[in-house]
Amino acid sequence: MRINQKFISYIPLVILLIGLAIFAYLGIHFRYWADDWCYNADFRNLGFLETLRGYLYNVTYTPSRYSVTILAGLFYPLGVFGLQILLPLSLLLWTWGLVRLFINLSSLSGFSLSALQATLLSLIIVYFSIYLAPHLYQSVYWNTGFFTYTFPLVLLPWVLTLVTDQNTSKTKLILIALLSLLAGGFSEASCTVLVSILALYTVISFIGSRYKKVWAQKSFVPALVALTFAIVAMALLVFAPTTQLRAERYGEPASLPELVTLVLNFTRAFVTLSVKDVQHLLILVLAGLLGFVLNSKERDINIPKTLALGFGIFVLAILLVAASLTPSAYIERGLPILRTQIIPRHIMIFAFVALGWVGGYSLRPLYAPTWLQATATVALLITLIFPIFTIYNSSKYIPIYSQRAQLWDEREATILSAIENGQDRVEVLAIDGAPVGGIRDFDPPDKKGYWITLCAADYYHIKLQVILP
């Protein structure tokens, strides 16, 4: 049976790897858009350190999100090639971090989980977090959007992995501090989630340490260090000059009673829609069948403990979704823009996968005659039609993204040729954002996106005369 289980596990593993390979391949068509040009102009004209120092005085775009500036600056010297390798590296780092986190959590909770099983669960979470992103292009295939809203999800499991790791050393504490400061500096929404989950874990580990729990005693100090530096990151975001300027544009923020009402309403609506969504339910079923089929019967299950764990996972997901929606509710009195909603979407997908796996894992030893095992295996294979179908859908983006990249490359070739010929002005074509759901590109002086044109002109050191398509 073990051989069969291992063989069966390879089927979804291969399917999900193919799905992530499609997303990685789409990264080949990564190019600069919108705010990217402002960052690039400063990196080129001011240098990395002075651009980062712009946090203190530059209010022309978003230097308050210092981690975005750091990551964009590190990849800037590589140019378009840096963009093209960004997504494959991030997918690898994201998946690896989740695998490490799952193994740590399984060790602490007593639910046995092999490396292969942890990899399967991680691949499901990463793949569907991208596939079901409310705005795929702006969350994943736009440099500034990716760094601001999606990359903190890549670093979050690494922060939690270091915190839950049972090895203690000063070097680890330093790494936790730096990583928490970096992970918290991408956006207000992701930082609020980071602070919330670290605060909760710090409280739990503190209580556990009072009861002489070894895991809690080893985790409390790392959790407290991570929480402290995450709060510092939040303060750096909140009190940055650019943040204050943006806050003034929105007017008076929501009062406390209004904020509570808005967050409750937004969270209830988001969670309700997630529960009703057929794709989320299929993810739950897929994870549940994997948990049932890929585990053995030889173990004891504490039913009250398992039910409490499932309830805790769902409540935690709700709390973290609420945390991710709070900044926009406070400042804008509304839901965050679609590219930001990849954060609460990821949280719900994580919860559905965890709930499905725990449910399947726990049901297996309670009642698993041979016929049910065979039936569950067939059901699992049928359910895999769902991710295969989503991979087919994802492949449809290839010609769209390819065409946009080709237009971008042709335009840059025209600009570079004009610069080489000593021209002080060049005509360039604005690239339509409609095929990818809207992403700002160059605009003429009377259009809203003209600031992007100015940043690009500052980057290339040539005036750009924009022609609309």
Q: What is the model's pLDDT at position 453? A: 95
Q: What is the model's pLDDT at position 1? A: 43
Q: What is the CA radius of gyration of the chain?
A: 24
Q: Measure the CA–CA gap between 10 and 28, rounded to whole angstroms.
A: 27
- pTM to 2 decimal places: 0.93
At 197, the amino acid letter reads: I
Apex CA 420: angle with CA 417 and CA 425, to 5°? 70
- Identify the sign of the CA torsion 412, 415, 421, 427: positive
Q: Measure the CA–CA gap between 13 and 193, rounded to whole angstroms.
A: 29
What average pLDDT values come out for the chain (469 residues) when binned by 10 residues?
Answer: 68 96 96 93 91 78 81 94 96 97 85 87 97 96 95 97 87 94 95 97 93 87 96 91 70 88 96 95 95 74 80 95 95 90 97 93 73 86 96 96 96 96 94 90 90 94 92
Q: What is the model's pLDDT at position 2? A: 45
Q: What is the model's pLDDT at position 239? A: 84
At residue 465, the 3 state secondary structure works out as strand
Could you give the residue ranges of the DSSP H alpha helices within 32-169? 35-46, 48-53, 66-75, 79-109, 115-131, 136-140, 143-145, 151-164
Query: What is the DSSP secondary-structure string of 334-363?
Result: SPPPGGGGHHHHHHHHHHHHHHHHHHHHHH
- Three-state SS for 110-130 is CCCCCHHHHHHHHHHHHHHHH
